[in-house]
Amino acid sequence: MKIILAISLFIVFYTFAGYGIFLYLIIRIKRAFKGKKTLPSENLDELPSCTLIIAAYDEEYFIEQKISNSLQLNYPEGKLKLLFVTDGSSDKTPDIIARYPQIQLLHRPERAGKIAAVHRAMEYVDTDAVVFTDANTFLNKDALIKICRHYSDATAGAIAGEKRVHIDENADASAAGEGFYWKYESALKKWDSELYSVVGAAGELFSVRRSLYQPVEPDTVLDDFMISMLIAAKGYRIIYEPDAYATETASENVSEELKRKVRIAAGGIQSILRLKKLFNPFPYPVLSFQYISHRVLRWTITPFLLILSFVLNIILALKPGETAMQALLLAQVLFYLLALLGLVMEKRQLRIKVLFIPYYFCVMNYAVLAGIIRYFSTKQSAVWEKVQRKQ
């Protein structure tokens, strides 16, 4: 029983902290022997032609700002096309976009989902590179240049930008927790990329070579993750570019963030089942190692091991003389009490930031469990599910 507990706790630690520590040490060793990799040139003449695709569903509140942001992006004249897809939008989103002749608008009244809209948009793309971004995020001015410069590297098949979450001073647990999570994720992506490849891109900002784009199945939940990983599975790298970033506001509250996380977790299980070939380490051993360490463990067994380790710890701590087990149980109980206190404070709208991390950690792992149940109990849909965000 102690062995099972030790293995469970080790996997939990490795999933959320150990892998990051391992990456950091490996990268430091790699830099000591090979030096830091030189970034590619930003020579404007060498940048590929590019299409920026924005899929929007009922984004009336944000769309004017998104258009303004997109038109202000720096890129060589004549090499950039802007394409907005608004399938299913029932508000004024298509009408607002139609006012701008510089933008190609694709609109259909049918609501088939984001990935169906993206696939349709890709039929109109004739540029070398494609950049995808969400309608409610805003890019820094040089984002496209920073991203597309990496295509001078023949091994680069996709580029992942950075997601930044705008946090107010009075942020609640969902906002503060999400912000901390994405800062840690950004560090992992940076090290993953330096070791070999990022493990999937986030839809807020990512790019692919047009020639490598492969349509995913119409019910795909995590289309951004699947599109980028299918390219990685062909032997190309997903490079992380932190100087190209998309900023968005946090979810309106914990309930909205939980809804988003549950959907992501269900999509994670779906992706794992569709990317089974990545469990074979022989074609690309480093990618398989990164994929399992960074994604698979989080989306599958680790949340269950949290429960198992707590139950086993209780059983072992009840035995006489098990001082170490009793101390470990006390530490676990204190952590979950802090998370529970964070829940109470959240409901009373009291902001105690030290409680946000344990609370958000528990919410994340609960979302994975709920997502697994959702995946195996209901039919998956790629139809847009809007998350309410802070205005």
- The structural domain count of the chain equals 2
Within its chain, how far is the Cα of 363 from the centroid?
17
- pLDDT tens sequence across 63-84: 999 999 999 999 999 999 999 9
Instruction: Decide if 276 is inside a domain.
Output: no
Instruction: Decide if 333 is inside a domain.
Output: yes
Report which of residues 179 and 317 the model is more confident about. 317
Distances (CA, A) of 273 to 191, 207, 219, 226, 277: 26, 24, 13, 11, 9
Closest of 126, 131, 55, 129 to residue 87, by C-alpha: 55
Instruction: Decide if 266 is inside a domain.
Output: no
- In this structure, the answer to whether residues 52 and 2 fall within a common structural domain is no
- In this structure, the answer to whether residues 241 and 295 fall within a common structural domain is no
- In this structure, the answer to whether residues 51 and 175 fall within a common structural domain is yes
Which are the contacts of 155, defined by CB distance < 8 A and separation ≥ 6?
Answer: 236, 237
Instruction: Provide the domain limits for residue 128.
Output: 44-250
Whether residue 45 has pLDDT greater than 80:
yes
Distance between CA 224 and CA 268 in Å, rounded?
Answer: 12
Percent of the chain beyond pLDDT 90? 68
- In this structure, the answer to whether residues 224 and 332 fall within a common structural domain is no
Q: DSSP of 163-223, one letter per residue?
A: EEEE--TT--HHHHHHHHHHHHHHHHHHHHHHHS--S---TTEEEEEGGG--PPPTT-S-H
CATH number of the domain bearing residue 177:
3.90.550.10
Instruction: Decide if 21 is inside a domain.
Output: no
Distances (CA, A) of 328 to 5, 31, 180, 305, 309: 11, 37, 26, 15, 10
- In this structure, the answer to whether residues 181 and 137 fall within a common structural domain is yes
Choosing from 221, 250, 279, the residue where a domain stops is 250
- In this structure, the answer to whether residues 235 and 298 fall within a common structural domain is no
Instruction: Decide if 120 is inside a domain.
Output: yes
Distance between CA 369 and CA 367 in Å, rounded?
Answer: 5
Question: Are 220 and 381 a contacting pair, CB within 8 Å?
Answer: no
The encoded tokens of residue 92 equal 């004024």
Whether residue 172 has pLDDT greater than 90:
no
- In this structure, the answer to whether residues 234 and 161 fall within a common structural domain is yes
Q: What is the pLDDT of residue 175?
A: 57
Instruction: Decide if 325 is inside a domain.
Output: yes
- pLDDT tens sequence across 70-129: 999 999 999 999 999 998 888 999 999 999 999 999 998 888 888 999 999 999 999 999
